[in-house]
Structure 1
Amino acid sequence: MARRYDVVVVGGGNAAFCAAQAARERVGRVIMLEKAPEGWLGGNSYFTAGAFRLTFGGLEDLRPLLHEPDEEVLSRTELPPYTAEDFMSDMERVTEGRCDARLARTMVEDSADVVRWLRDKGIRWRLMYDRQSYEVGGRLRFWGGLVLGTVGGGKGLVEQHLASARRYGIEVRCSFAVEGLLRDDSGAVVGVRGRGPDGPETVEAGAVVLACGGFEANARMRARHLGSRWGIAKVRGTPYNTGEGLRMALEAGAEPYGDWGGCHSIAWDVAAPPTGDRGLTNLYSKQSYPLGIVVNSEGRRFLDEGADFRNYTYARYGAEILRQPGGVAYQIFDAKTEPLLRKDEYEAPGVSRYEASDVGDLAEKMGVDRDGLERTVREFNAAIRPGRFDPSIKDGKRTEGIEPPKSNWALPLDTPPYYGFAVTCGITFTFGGLHVDEDARVLDTSRRPIPGLHAAGELVGGLFYHNYPGGTGLTSGAVFGRRAGYAAAAFAKGREV
């Protein structure tokens, strides 16, 4: 039996919830259709740290957002402003000038307002001291432009979204796999067809928002678009983002857009399961590598660990790891830097952690070439130039005369015990998607809006090329989710008789 709603949102993550909330402000009947069972609700958003990149004028600008702020801690906090110019500069720099300036500017200019809108919907916020600050001289210094996250991380974000959706009368239906779009004689999208637990169903709608992720969990699509080696990459998040939303939009005439050969991928613990773990979520990530060195199984360094703050390098270094023999690498630290590692990630249950009093013994425990690692550490230590180490800034403490260089935070590995962590490539999301306008309306190959079809989240193409500034994915999902919901509601109301 067909049922009719004003707006149907396909997906169950942050972008989908934002689209549903925005639509519900302006129309009466809104439903979210999620392919995954209820126990997997939340898409990739559930597996994040809940970090949102936004513009702000300093600590006082963010203080009203904070849930249960600790005034003593705030009194020791240094939090420089992060302006719209800073955000746009970061987008243009990390994407090598390829990001769609129109979409990027929309995201940047909406970022602060959408966070406040989410607060009013019930999302709780905190400053991410544990992930984005170092204590230097008794002061807590934030770095890399990323400061705000949700209470409870990705799990908390999804729980708060779901509670809010129920409070506002949004219907959330899980275990419903949308398989195609319904269109009328004019070509407008008028609903979806799919399959629920009881078989095929049709859901009619005034407008549809696709917010159901990219194709990162589809090994065949990864191999086709990213390259053959990507078929073996581990999936950081949900196993349900397999590209159906992209497929059905393309079949409806949507224009593919953005970096279809690129993705967000990071250093991910080699012991992690093939797809996301709902208990540990993002704790398999290993993001303190700027404090040490990274080598392959031959004991050889292959990237500049200190090229920039990890916020601006981590999303592309997963691909560098995948290119190494066996698709595996090893992060190495000593007793000086080990206390600075993110405890939640580097001490999580079951992580691939090794310890030894000698570099050569550490190599053998990890299965790394002993002579190669000893030579690498010896040459690295000798190449370090004098300077003051400060992890809260790009300190310029670097190496000279070796390749690749280490541009910042170069400390000698000379204080036992030594620590090693085995990592592989964990794919987060794919960069290729659909072409949308500022209102998140999906454009066809003639760059005209497909009536009644909107998209948000990972399906939006054109924002990210080659790389990604940390915390931008949830922000993009919220900004274009809200815009998609408003536009879908407006279109649905315009079709009312």
Structure 2
Amino acid sequence: MALQDALRREQTEVIVVGGGNAGFTAVHAAATRGRKVMLLERGTEDMAGGNSFYTAGATRIVHDGLEDLQDLVEHDDRHDRSVVPPYSADEYRADLEKVTEGKNDPELTDVLVKEVSPTLRWLKSLGLKYRLMYERQAYERPDGSFLFWGGLHVGNVGGGEGLIADHTRVAREHGVDIRYGYRATSLITDGGKVIGVRADTDEGPVEIFAESVVLTAGGFESNPEMRREYLGDGWENAKVRGTPYNQGDMIRAALSIGADAGGDFSTCHSVQWDAYTPNNESNRELTNRLTRQSYFLGVIVNRNGERFLDEGADYRNYTYAKYGREILKQPGSVAYQIFDSTLRGMLRTEEYDMPGISVESADSIAELARKINVDEKTLVATVEDYNDKADREIEFDPTVKDGKSSDAEPKKSNWALPLEAGPFYAYPVTCGITFTFGGVKTDTHGRVLNGDGEHIEGLYAAGEMLGGLFSSNYPGGSGLAAGCVFGRRAGALA
């Protein structure tokens, strides 16, 4: 009885569990309707923001080109020299279907594509700020103009850190009760209806009761045991790019009260990640700068000195989220991105010039092999074969899929510029896991469903907890987009 008496109890109208992009969007949708909202964030204030804090803030939306975006993005003097190709709803759907190999839920996809652009404009009206992503999604051409590529053009001012700062400010302006350091552990039910959340805090356990609970607490990518259970052996060794708090707690809590599992639990978003820089997990200072995403310009070899994938199969936006798992399969789960001096100046400055970066350089490929402890003869033969079989007639153009290929094994389909001009550079990379694709099953409004397809009254989900949109891979920027759309939908009903 003493334990029961010590348990704190509180009351609100809407509880949102998880303070990332999806959670805050749900918060705004509920608060602007006049609902009394409490946000439970496991991290302390200096560790808050979920995975969203660690992103570049890129958000994939439908638009008709630069003129159509002028009312959304902040002014930039480069706009007058920029070409931003339109990105249609049909292209968005096709990209999702292509990269997920047709496993994306068509109804969720249709809602995402239709609502993402008006949702971002609604968020802008509340105070969020957006810009064109010059440093990540455009190349400056010889005439001084900029050409955007890959369907992903818009991001938050200040990246993920700016995104969370804007969200937090807007929530506070609407009187939202933000509770930092609250780890939700289970759901409180009454007759099948969800009526609240139990949480652990520094002041002890608490039960918070509400009319609705919105789960936006992410996947299970930070839990090595769950990674191994669902993704397979070896995944416990992956580096966690983002928040250390996505342990799968609320996925398990929802499943334990009868929620149906949704999405693909066997795959995830994983990228090429700096292998050896100290503190290369959940780094709040470097965040997304530990990715190595100019790989499509050069070649990638394993510790044996062998290539093992098509670096130029498609635009980076459509391959980067699946190549992390390919590196995890290699000896030691490490590979090396190789570039020559011609390509070095084209690498992303914020990633390849970051402080403390892992890199080796040498005047020859043979010397480079010795420095990275890769078999010299094999690496020299690999690069020579790649160079010999590279098409030297087609002009190299990183702004389009240029068809400049190398018929080496495996083939490189685009951007196969021979590596001939020393010095040469090797960047060691491993697998960095971003988020898992399995979660709970919902309808298109974020209402969590049970095994019979019925809504569990009082329970909603959005963000990385919502399963069904992604499998094996995803188009860059569609994760934050989905968090906005389905967070808003859930918050509009909660």
Normalising by structure 2, we get a TM-score of 0.97
Any stretches of 5+ residues in structure 1 without a counterpart?
489-497
Q: Quick one: distance in 1 between partners of 2:258 and 2:280?
A: 33
Of the structure 1 ranges 40-49 and 367-376, higher mean CA displacement relative to structure 2 is found in 367-376
TM alignment of 1:185-224, pairs within 5 A: 185=191, 187-224=192-229
Counterpart among 296, 316, 320 of residue 314 in structure 1: 320
Aligned residues of 2:302 and 2:308 also touching (Cα < 8 A): yes
Aligned pair 1:126/2:97, yes or no?
Answer: no
The one of 79, 104, 107 aligned to 1:102: 107
Decide which of 304, 324, 330 is 2:310's aligned counterpart: 304
Partner in structure 1 of residue 16 of structure 2: 9
* SS of residue paired to 1:240: coil
Q: 1:35 aligned to 24, 29, 42, which one?
A: 42
Matches within 5 A, 1:181-260: 181-185=187-191, 187-260=192-265
Report the alpha carbon displacement of residue 271 of structure 1 after superposing the two structures with TM: 2.1
Structure 1 segment 340-355 matched on structure 2, within 5 A: 340-355=346-361
Q: Does 1:463 align with 2:475?
A: no
CA distance, structure 2, for counterparts of residue 47 and residue 171 of structure 1: 23
What are the residue-to-residue correspondences of 1:20-59 with 2, within 5 Å?
20-59=27-66
**Cα distance in 1 for residues equivalent to 2:246 and 2:235:** 15
1:86 to 82, 85, 91: 91
1:330: which partner in 2?
A: 336
- The aligned counterpart of 1:476 is 482
What amino acid sits opposite 1:90 in the alignment? D
Matched-pair contact (CA < 8 Å) for 2:49–2:164? yes
**How many Å separate the matches in 2 of 1:34 and 1:75?**
42
Q: Which residue of 2 aligns with 1:491?
A: none
- Equivalence map 1:54-65=2 (5 Å): 54-65=61-72
The Cα offsets for residues 83-142 of structure 1, whole Å up to 9 and x where unpaired, read as 100100000010111100000111111110111011011111110010000122322000
How far has the Cα of 1:258 moved from its partner? 1.1
Runs of 4+ in 1 over 6 A off after TM superposition: none
1:350-402 CA distances to partner (integer Å, 9 max, x unpaired)? 111111111111111112211111000000000111211100000000012x2
What's the secondary structure of 2:425's corresponding residue? strand
The 5 A counterparts of 1:401-416 are: 402-416=408-422
| Distance in 1 between residues matched to 2:134 and 2:287, nearest whole Å | 19
1:362 alignment partner, SS class: helix
Q: Secondary structure at the match of 2:289?
A: helix
Residue 64 of structure 1 aligns to a residue whose secondary structure is coil
Deviates more, 1:292-301 or 1:137-146: 137-146
Q: CA–CA distance in 2 between the matches of 1:229 and 1:177?
A: 28
Q: Which residue identity is paired with 2:316?
A: R
Corresponding position of 2:362:
356
Does residue 431 of structure 1 match 2:437?
yes
Deviation at 1:70, TM superposition (A): 2.3
- More deviation, 268-277/161-170: 268-277
CA distance in 1, matches of 2:202, 2:401: 54
Tell me which amino acid in the other structure corresponds to 2:362: A
- Mark the runs of 5 or more structure 2 residues left unpaired by the alignment: 1-7
Alignment: residue pair count: 484
Match of 1:336, SS state, is helix
Question: Which amino acid in 2 is paired with 1:277?
Answer: N
1:492 matched to which residue of 2?
A: none
Do structure 1's residue 295 and structure 2's residue 307 form an aligned pair?
A: no
Aligned partner of residue 368 in structure 2, secondary structure: helix
CA RMSD of superposed structures (Å) = 0.9
Aligned partner letter, 1:32: L
Aligned twin of 1:494 = none
Q: Is the 8 A contact 2:280 2:290 kept in 1?
A: no
Using the TM superposition, give the Cα deviation of residue 28 of structure 1 relative to its aligned residue in structure 2, in angstroms: 3.1
**1:370 and 2:365 equivalent?**
no
1:220 partner amino acid: E
Which of 154, 174, 183 is residue 160 of structure 2 equivalent to? 154
Shift of 1:275: 2.5
**Counterpart position of 2:272:** 267
Deviations along 1:11-68, whole A, 9 cap, x unmatched?
A: 010000000110112233101001111111100000000000000011011011122x
**Residues 217-276 of structure 1: CA distance to partner in whole angstroms, max 9, x if unpaired?**
000000000001000100000100000010000011011111100000000000243621
Contact kept, 8 Å, 2:339 with 2:424, in 1: the verdict is yes
What is the letter of the counterpart of residue 341 of structure 2?
Answer: A
CA deviations over 1:435-475 (Å, ceiling 9, x no partner): 11111000101111100000010001110011110001101
* SS of residue paired to 1:305: coil
Instruction: Specify the alignment match of 2:4 in structure 1.
Output: none
2:3 is aligned to none
Find the residue that maps to 1:65 and give its secondary structure.
Answer: coil
436-445 vs 266-275, which deviates more?
266-275
- Partner of 1:395 in structure 2? 402
Cα distance in 2 between the residues matched to 1:286 and 1:150: 20
**Residues 174-216 of structure 1: per-residue CA shift (max 9 Å, x gap):** 111111111112x110111111111111100010000000000
- Equivalent runs, 1:59-78 vs 2, <5 Å: 59-67=66-74, 69-71=75-77, 73-78=78-83
- Contact 1:6-1:27 within 8 A present in 2 as well: no
The code of the aligned residue for 1:45 comes to S
1:493 — aligned with what?
none
Percent same amino acid among aligned pairs? 50
- Distance of 2:428 and 2:231 partners within structure 1: 24
Secondary structure of the residue aligned to 1:299 is coil
Counterpart code for 1:439 = H
Q: What TM-score comes out, normalization by structure 1 length?
A: 0.96
Whether the aligned pair in 2 keeps the contact of 1:271 and 1:350 (CA below 8 Å) is no
Name the CA distance, whole Å, in 2 between partners of 1:367 and 1:164. 51
363-372 or 259-268, which moves further after superposition? 363-372
Contact 2:274–2:280 (Cα < 8 Å) also in 1: no
